[in-house]
Chain A
Amino acid sequence: MASGIRDRVAILGMGCSRFGERWSDNAEDLMLEAFGGALADAGIEKSKIEAAWLGVCLEENNVGKTAGPLAQGLRLPFIAATRVENACATGTEALRGAVYAVAAGACDIALALGVEKLKDTGYGGLPVRTRGVVADLWQPNASAPGAFAQLASAYQAKYGISREDLKRAMAHVSVKSHDNAVLNPKAHLRNKITIDDVLKAQIIADPLGLYDCCGVSDGAACAIVTTPEIAKAMGRRDIVTVKALQLAVSNGEEAQFDSWDGASVRTAEVAAARAYKEAGIANPREALDLIEVHDCFSITELVLMENLGLSDPGRAPFDILEGRYDRDGAIPCQVDGGLKCFGHPIGASGLRMVYEIYQQVLGRAGERQLGKADIGLTQNLGGHPHQNVCAISIIGRLGA
């Protein structure tokens, strides 16, 4: 029985571009910005990197289908480079490639980089796209907000909560993330908003209003990973390791079978249970100092609090309103501003979440630094609530 990858891989360096409407930049510029930061942080020469994984989801947006643009943009010296894509969980997928390569002993130092140039699509929100020639024959071509709004109607029905009460808890989610982003120079949206702003915003997909939806941005994030032994040999004292890296993918049960309640993300429950086990965490409510979850929509963050085992079923709206996930709450969530304020350049988001945990653990988060930050979780979701891929990482101090 495999023992998992807990503490077998260390993060040597990370970088993250400023996220936002980067009208004057190509994907290559964003990649270099993130990579430059990671390389400087790692304190190594580019030539030490032996293999690379590039996460890009919508290949049609400037980046291309292979990892070639990464190799060319960074002028990597003919190393192995692979492009990966797993819907909105693409960023974490790139990290998985690099981490597993190091854990397997296939290489000593590997690179994971995620990037997306969403602002060249011309859309508000994600572009419409085909679901495949067979699915298009019968599946509704649901927008992301429309698909995630399903969670809200099912949640209301399951727990007997009114639309107004749920909207208020969802509004708290967004207001909290904007408050956090004010402190983050890399975030796209750095303005405070009020509960009233959220409640009165234009409806996008009922009950989700404009401020229940994450932003649309360009961005890149990057990690260089190695073994803890090599990191130590390089003189590192404060070593951040990967405690767990798990991925769960829907098999059609939620969409087609009668056991799913429609008010939860099943894959998150499965992936979280496996991740806690891999990381040796018995009680995540006590163990986790901070979390970065896939808040593509406020309702997603809300139900995820339950699916990650942090709120009891039906209690997330109350825990949220009581400030449990605020900056100064028991388990701060999205202290960097989240997808809500970073936007969601798809390939980059999973790595951007890890970047925040990494910065917090190392005590480098500046104005937004939390008091205790030894161990954190990221959760990155691709697809729709009824059919998706869910990636979870647990990142923390070596020995924590």
Chain B
Amino acid sequence: MNTNDKAAAARGILAVGGYLPRLRLSREAVAAGHRWMAPGLRALAKGARSMANWDEDAVSMAVEAGRDALRAAGGDHVDRLTLASTTLPFADRLNSAVVAGALGLPSKVEAADTGGGLRAGSSALLRALQRSAGRELVIGSDRRIPTPASSAELLAGDGAAAILVGEGDPLAVLLGAASVTADFVDHFRETGRNGDYAWEERWVRDEGFSRIVPPSIKRALDAAGLNAEQIDHFVMPELLRRVGPLVAKKAGVRPEAVVDSLFERCGDTGVAHPLMMLARTLTMAGPGQKILVVQFGSGCDAIVLETTDRASGSDAEPAWLGAGQPESNYLKYLSFTGQIDLEWGMRAEMDSKTALSAAWRSVATVNGFVGGRCSHCGTVQFPASRVCVNPECGAVDSQTPHRMADEAATVRSFTSDWLSYKPCPPFMFGHVEFASRARVLMEFTDCDPAELAVGVPLEMVFRIKEMDPLRGFRRYFWKATPQRKAGE
């Protein structure tokens, strides 16, 4: 049978995307900070974990992963957006509505947040695959802040992954799945708190992973009409080190099928991680391969997929899985995660209260980075205005929406400002010129002062602009970052 014919008719995974923050915190640096009181952490002090910049959170990372998937899909048609996370910044304000705006999705999109445990991402993916119709973008994103000196601090990483599901020409289709729900509390975290409370790892391994996961896998394989040896890629985040091979063995999956948990590269990105490991697997897998995705947490999800002829079998790692920027300053990590209060001086006292009525008027401007293009003279201006800025034009009410988030841009002027308050000094900002010739004074992020020069190519990223700790609000906007080749 030609799998292409089957794929054309089937619902499946159309595109994948991923995002890791640029910073990679050295686990050795973390362990060194705790050596005086927890010398045993040395056992985990290998490689690096991804570390969100001060201006990143589950929402901003979700935007970047979503953009990556939509770029790969070659179009931004989405009927439904699901944002899965255990670390959504807002308990009541639809976080996915922010993401939808930043992705430039129309207001008719059905957006929903989901969370409540580490299976939120895998379960959302499964529901999307099982739906009868419609394009759904499922994004998992987590920025967990484990307790300092816990093993979770070393095992966790920050990141996001996105899977676009729908009808078309899929990369992979669903063969079968099984879920089990159990109030098996290997760890928990009260709403609003940082840091999990975890039970003994041996119990989690022996009574949790070993007893709950293999029967679920069996049911999923039965539904798919496969046996365990036929699995080519066993995708299971390792909440405990080396639990993957153990479960694979118990389930009868070949050891060489066990997919790298990315411990060395970024750590476990929580809700995002099964989607991230799957996104990587789908980027690299060839056609006709069987993939088993498993996520443990208050039970288990097991999802069996098969790649189509569209799967390329590439040797190249996805671009988002680059080496990033090494970071060895653990104090900086503690400060970025709000776990130590440093003396920032009076400039940090500025009240960043947001006028919500003004924010609503500017929602497309701010979330979508939409400026105005004059229909008389073609001048693109940001923000859009009633009167065209071109002195030769001056047309009134002539501007149509013009999205700038995906436009190429360059530095026109810049500075590294040590006077202004920013959680990661110096404050870098400057005049930016877009391909459309629009100009905007913008912040630079994920940038080293030495990278800034007039003419440097830039790309736009969605970030936290200011935090308002007094009211528990945060506002987002786009920032410019130097264009980097994959891996930089």
Contacts and interface: CB of A to CB of B under 8 A. Distances in A.
Interface in B432-470: 433, 437-443, 449, 452, 454-455, 465-466
Interface string B30-48: 0000000000000000000
Nearest to B452: A153
Given A128-B350, A128-B421, A156-B454, A253 B391 contact: yes
B354 A262 contact: no
Interface in A140-158: 140-143, 145-146, 149-154, 156-157
Interface string A112-142: 0000000000111101111001101111111
Contacts of B389: 251-253, 256-257
Contacts of B383: 138
B413 interface: yes
A136 B381 CA distance: 18
A256 B359 CA distance: 21
Contacts of A145: 415, 417, 419
Contacts of B417: 142-143, 145-146, 149, 204-206
Contacts of A80: none
B98 to A, nearest CB: 13
Interface stretch (B100-108, B139-147, B360-368): B360-368
Interface in B362-418: 362, 365-366, 379, 381-383, 385, 389-391, 412-418
Contact of B429 (A146, A252, A258): A146
A136 B418 CA distance: 20
Given A137-B362, A255-B439, A203 B418 contact: yes
Nearest to A124: B419
A142 B418 contact: no
A137 B354 contact: yes
B418 A205 contact: yes
Interface residues of B, number: 52
A386 interface: yes
Given A157-B454, A256-B438, A257-B439, A137 B418 contact: no
A2 B426 CA distance: 50
Interface residues of A, number: 44
Given A125-B419, A136-B352, A386-B441, A142 B429 contact: yes
B347 A128 contact: yes
B91 interface: no
A259 B418 CA distance: 29
Interface string B333-360: 0000000000000110011101100110
A206 B355 contact: no
Contacts of A124: 419
Contacts of A133: 354-355, 358
A262 B412 contact: yes
B420 interface: yes
A153 B419 contact: no
Contacts, number: 136
Contact of B455 (A152, A157, A204, A262): A157
B304 to A, nearest CB: 46
Given A252-B385, A255-B441, A258-B437, A143 B455 contact: no
Contacts of B430: 150, 153
Interface string A262-301: 1000000000000000000000000000000000000000
Contacts of B452: 153
A251 B394 CA distance: 11
B413 A206 contact: no
B382 A256 contact: yes
B350 A205 contact: no
Given A255-B439, A257-B391, A134 B358 contact: yes
Given A122-B346, A153-B413, A153-B454, A146 B420 contact: yes
B352 A154 contact: no
Given A134-B358, A137-B359, A153-B415, A142 B433 contact: no
A76 B417 CA distance: 44
Interface string A185-214: 000000000000000001111101000000
A337 B438 CA distance: 40
B439 A204 contact: no
Nearest to B350: A128
A374 B214 CA distance: 96
A124 B431 CA distance: 25
Contact of B358 (A123, A137, A146): A137
Contact of A123 (B347, B412, B437): B347
Contact of B390 (A149, A257, A262): A257
Contacts of B234: none
B382 A153 contact: no
Contacts of B454: 153-154, 156-157
A255 B432 CA distance: 10
Contact of A140 (B379, B441, B455): B441
Contacts of B365: 137-138
Interface of B: 346-347, 350-352, 354-355, 358-359, 361-362, 365-366, 379, 381-383, 385, 389-391, 412-421, 426-427, 429-431, 433, 437-443, 449, 452, 454-455, 465-466, 475, 477
14 contacts: A128-B421, A133-B358, A136-B466, A140-B427, A140-B443, A145-B415, A146-B420, A156-B454, A205-B416, A205-B419, A205-B426, A252-B385, A252-B389, A257-B389
Interface of A: 122-125, 127-130, 133-134, 136-143, 145-146, 149-154, 156-157, 202-206, 208, 251-253, 255-259, 262, 386
Given A133-B354, A143-B420, A258-B439, 18 more contacts: A125-B419, A128-B420, A134-B361, A136-B466, A137-B359, A137-B365, A138-B465, A140-B429, A146-B419, A146-B420, A149-B417, A154-B413, A154-B431, A157-B455, A205-B417, A208-B415, A257-B381, A259-B391
